[in-house]
Structure 1
Amino acid sequence: MPKTQLNVRVDEATARAARERALARGMSVNRYIEELVRQDAGEAGRTFVDSAADFMKQYEAVFAEEFGPEAPERTRP
């Protein structure tokens, strides 16, 4: 996949931490930042799916009553 250059400005402490953490993981700072962004993007998606699953579990009986096979027929306006 082609790469796009992205320039960001951070304070020296943040830059130092990024370099140290990348070095500790045996990767470049660029790769380290890429991984962080991918993880963050994935977390948001997982959080949404988990929340939706919890919601459906919590209201499963309500949905079954309203939309299940035993639900009364509804006429649309």
Structure 2
Amino acid sequence: MAKTQLNVRVDEGTARAARERALARGMSVNRYIEELVRQDTGEAGRAFVEAAADFMKQYEAVFAEEFDGGPAARARARKDREDPHEGRP
């Protein structure tokens, strides 16, 4: 992967902490910062997927009623509308 130079300005305390943490991990400051960004973007992606999965679970019956339209799907959708949190933590 090609590398791109990125110049950033941080206060001296932040720069010192980055140098110390990188040294403690046996890596360059560049690699340390790169890994922090990768971790941060990975966590955001996971949080999005988890939130989307939770949304789909909560509204599964509504989607089933809309797209499947069967009697069981309609009954589940009615039940969920009456008490959407029943049986959920």
Matched, 1:23 2:9: no
* Cα distance in 2 for residues equivalent to 1:2 and 1:23: 24
Please give the residue correspondences for 1:49-64 in structure 2 after superposition, counting only pairs within 5 Å.
49-64=49-64
CA RMSD of aligned residues (A): 1.4
Q: Which position in structure 1 is the counterpart of 2:83?
A: none
Please give the residue correspondences for 1:37-48 in structure 2 after superposition, counting only pairs within 5 Å.
37-48=37-48
* Cα distance in 2 for residues equivalent to 1:26 and 1:69: 59
* Cα distance in 1 for residues equivalent to 2:2 and 2:64: 48
Count the aligned residue pairs. 71
Runs of 4+ in 1 over 6 A off after TM superposition: none
Unmatched 5+ residue regions in structure 1?
Answer: 72-77
Q: Which position in structure 2 is the counterpart of 1:7?
A: 7
Q: Calculate percent identity across the aligned residue pairs.
A: 86
Unmatched 5+ residue regions in structure 2?
Answer: 72-89
Q: Which position in structure 2 is the counterpart of 1:66?
A: 66
* Cα distance in 2 for residues equivalent to 1:25 and 1:69: 56
Q: What secondary structure is seen at the aligned counterpart in 2 of 1:6? A: coil
